[in-house]
Structure 1
Amino acid sequence: MNLERLVPMQPVSDLEAAVAFYDKLGFRVEQRDDGLGWARLRCGRHELMLDRSISLHPGIPRTAVLYLYPEDIVEFHRQARANGLDAPDLETTFYGMTEFRIEDPDGNRLWIGQDRRGPGQG
């Protein structure tokens, strides 16, 4: 059995704020239903759904983590800051990634990185 695709669904409490946040990371709305509090976003060939109905405990921070792999981490980081996101400085991890970490308005964690090891060093 094979999967054709995998689309993460993030719990959100405020759809408008969440859409605005992900727009700053390059995601564009493909479908949206404000009555249901749901939206499907796309960045390149990747999709993400935002859904108000799955936020069972709206008063607590979320615990979901997405790891995003941009083509150029330096440019992606620069653009995130230029779009007004409070992105910390880039770091190189012990596992060979250059990355930064941020949270969306609902506390969902985003780790954004690029493998900086050379070919054959992974």
Structure 2
Amino acid sequence: MGGMNWSAAWSCVSELVTNAYRHAGGGCSLRITALRDGRVRVGVWDGHPHVPEAFREGAPLPPGDPHAPGGRGLHLVREYAEAWGAWSSGEALPGRRGAGKLLWFEVGAAPGPA
């Protein structure tokens, strides 16, 4: 996987982990999987079931404010990732373990020399 676009991948990882920490109110889990075709799938699980609008299938991205201190991270994920998505376990119930969501994306190998 030496040709992987690691800069794009780590920017996206950083964004999802940071969002999980800031908005989910608890810990998160990161899983990175090498796929057979040279791509990498990254999943970030947190304990909050709400899926951000930008990760909903077919959802348009809201316009970002380039002067705002935040709010552009999911734009980066959708720009750099080849695919992305989410899965929610539904609303959290008091005392229920396992409630939350998984946000994932895939990035591919960077183009090599011609």
- Normalised TM-score (structure 2): 0.32
When you count strand as a share of all residues, which structure comes out higher? 1
When you count helix as a share of all residues, which structure comes out higher? 2
**More relative contact order in 1 or in 2 (CA 8 Å, sep 6+)?**
2
- Normalised TM-score (structure 1): 0.30
